[in-house]
A and B are shown apart, each in its own frame.
Chain A
Amino acid sequence: MSLATRNVLIALCITIAIGASVIYSVNYLNSLRIKDLNSTQQKLSVDTLSLETQISLLESSPCSIISHTSELTSELDDLGKRLSYTESQLGSNDSQVILLKQQYSLLEIRDYLVTEKFSETCHTNQVTVLYFYSNDKNCADCDKAGYALSYLHDAYPNIRVYSFDYNLDLGALKTLISLEKVGSGLPAFVINNKVSYGFTDLDTLKTLFPKGTFATSTATTTGH
């Protein structure tokens, strides 16, 4: 074997080793992300169940534990952001991403129900937004709407945003869509039980909110 041929074979082995190491490293990082999200979701699932149990136990005066919800919703918000980033890395068709999104959507629905209960019982001035989006190319404005809602949720503490992938195959989500009578025109928003469709700009979106919503401006709450 000539020196050059030997060098070609060595270089080929080095290239394969580099390629394999890179693919392994990126996949390993992604698996760590999935593991981290799984662990956070499990913790949130327990926390949500605990909160629901507390509400049941304190049925006569649940408002005494209202402060517990803010920490939970803040973690849910963080989980949503990380899940969104993971989806951008692995793609929306990845089976693990889909499973995580299903679990996250369930947590969101449960948090939404708890928030609604507190709103009714404790007369809080929370404004909840149910935001339905799609990863399909036919929803060109979904990214813009999601970003605008993220901004509103960060800037105004009384706004809580729950975002859902309209096409996600999840029974509880389909029931929520049916209950709120949300059609397939996306993006769709349910703000204080009123459904609206499409996104043009931030100012137009703001007109969908009840008067007085934007009177304060300090951040914290659940979001997209």
Chain B
Amino acid sequence: MSGALLAYIFIFLGIFFESFMLVTFLSKPARTARARPTTTKTPHVALIIPCYNEEDTVELSIKAALRVDYPADKFQLVVVNDGSKDKTWEIMQKFKDHPQILLINQKNGGKHTALNAGIAATTAEIVGCLDADTVLEPDALKRTLVCFDKPNVAAAMSSISIRTPRGLLERMQSAEYTVGIFYRHALSSINAMYVTPGPFSLYRRSVLEKVGGFVYGQQTEDMEMALRLQREGYEIDNMPRALVTTHAMDTLPKLMRQRMRWTSGFFRNVLFDYRDLLSYKHGVLGYLILPFGLIAPIAILSIFSFTIYRILHAIITAFEIRQGIPFDWYFHWPALLHTATWFYTPISIFGLLGIIAAGLGIAMMVVGKRVSNAPTNLFADAICYLLLYGFVAPLWYLRATADVITGTRRGWRIE
């Protein structure tokens, strides 16, 4: 099968997937879900903040969590220092006398052990995970809690957006997160979520006790937990109007490391530990969402390489045939104007499908911002996304795929 044919097949599949998401977003269950008012119930909630070398952000995160609009006697923060090598524990001491805060110091054992330690230290009915670099909007908790009005919901999540993105790379991630808001909401309306995002997710304690605590989960304990909940038949819900903000990876190596962990974690979880979910009996998650997640890297690589090949081929050919010809003749205005007619419109099937796919992606971004009121600059984010994503995403997809094939495991972060 030629590369061109593969690229055509994948771009059709991409448009199909985007159409499916849009249709799902517009269907009644999603409309009803996002229109839900804030709940009046106030169960006892404990948010666990696992910290490893978070001296720069932990104070901001704790202070933001304390500003949450929720009865103080029903709300607790459990901050767990997971053997940090920096001043995280010293900074945490500023809050040691706060009546709503419990501090735990443990040897480094990984995020899942910190979460388990936090859960064990509280008796709250709803427990949540809040990353130390994530800031909770005051109404985010109340808004998210409405999801637990449905008895079968085991976990719930909010919208996540990037806090004050700067530069091309951070803006690209901001666009990606805004599209993510749309995706999470559409997927949760048909119970097809395969991750309970680490930055902020809430869990029903009774369910966690039934299915067991967090495990290593191929370095993606949030994804593993979501897949386990799906396997056990629980629902994972989302409230897009609840918003938390997190920070973006500010350099390409850090971003690569994070995305390679996510991608290889997804592959390993789905292909090795939860392969049984790839089945029609698990609904749309089993026959559509997870299989599409598995072929997405091949699709992105295929479409990207085909597009780059065509662009490079055109540039090299143009350069070769123009050698020795006076440079100013290339930009001879009468000749250029002569070609500015409908006849010379450079429209191809692949190009037009690409424009439609990008247009649908931008529509999702607009909708994601509207439903969450995320404080993002859509225009700048979209431009950075369109300029960069096609070039950087194949890098981590390629390396993550290679890691899974070769059995390579990488650390959480660049120290």
Contacts and interface: CB of A to CB of B under 8 A. Distances in A.
Q: Do A and B bind each other?
A: yes
Interface of A: 2-5, 7-8, 10-12, 14-15, 18-19, 22-23, 25-26, 29, 32-33, 36, 78, 82, 85, 89, 143-144, 146-148, 151, 154-155, 201-203
A82 B345 CA distance: 11
Query: 5 closest pairs, A vs B, by CB?
Result: A4-B284, A11-B20, A11-B19, A15-B16, A202-B324
Given A12-B16, A19-B12, A19-B353, A7 B320 contact: no
B236 to A, nearest CB: 15
B15 A18 contact: yes
A26 B348 contact: yes
A33 B341 CA distance: 11
Interface stretch (B23-31, B47-55, B395-403): B23-31
Given A22-B349, A26-B349, A144-B320, A7 B20 contact: yes
B343 interface: yes
B198 to A, nearest CB: 26
Contact of A22 (B22, B317, B344, B356): B356
Nearest to A148: B325
Q: In this complex, which of B16, B27, B288, B338 has the most chain A Cβ atoms within 10 angstroms of its Cβ?
A: B16
B323 interface: yes
Contacts of A29: 345, 347
Given A4-B288, A18-B19, 5 more contacts: A12-B16, A15-B19, A19-B12, A22-B349, A26-B348
A23 B29 contact: no
A139 B345 CA distance: 28
A20 to B, nearest CB: 11
B339 to A, nearest CB: 8
A29 B27 CA distance: 36
Contacts, number: 87
B96 interface: no
Contacts of A36: 343
Contacts of A203: 324
Interface residues of B, number: 38
Interface of B: 12, 15-17, 19-20, 22-24, 27, 29, 190, 192, 283-284, 288, 317, 320-326, 329, 332, 335, 338, 342-345, 347-349, 352-353, 356
Given A3-B190, A33-B343, A15 B284 contact: no
Contacts of A19: 12, 15, 353
A202 B326 CA distance: 10
A148 B329 CA distance: 11
A4 B192 CA distance: 10
Given A19-B12, A26-B348, A4 B343 contact: no
A18 B359 CA distance: 13
B338 to A, nearest CB: 8
A155 B332 CA distance: 11
A95 B9 CA distance: 27
Q: In this complex, which of A4, A11, A147 has the most chain B Cβ atoms within 10 angstroms of its Cβ?
A: A4
B332 A82 contact: no
A151 B323 contact: no
A2 B326 CA distance: 65
Contacts of A201: 323-324
A11 B283 CA distance: 16
A32 B288 CA distance: 40
A154 B329 contact: yes
29 contacts: A3-B27, A3-B29, A3-B190, A4-B24, A4-B283, A4-B288, A7-B24, A8-B20, A10-B19, A10-B23, A11-B23, A12-B16, A15-B12, A15-B15, A18-B15, A19-B12, A19-B15, A22-B349, A22-B353, A25-B347, A32-B342, A33-B343, A85-B344, A147-B325, A151-B325, A154-B332, A154-B335, A155-B329, A201-B323
Contacts of B19: 10-11, 14-15, 18
A7 to B, nearest CB: 5
A7 B23 contact: yes
Nearest to A23: B349
Contacts of A14: 19, 23
Contacts of A10: 19, 23
Contact of B27 (A7, A22, A82, A85): A7
A5 B352 CA distance: 28
A29 B23 CA distance: 30
A11 B317 contact: no
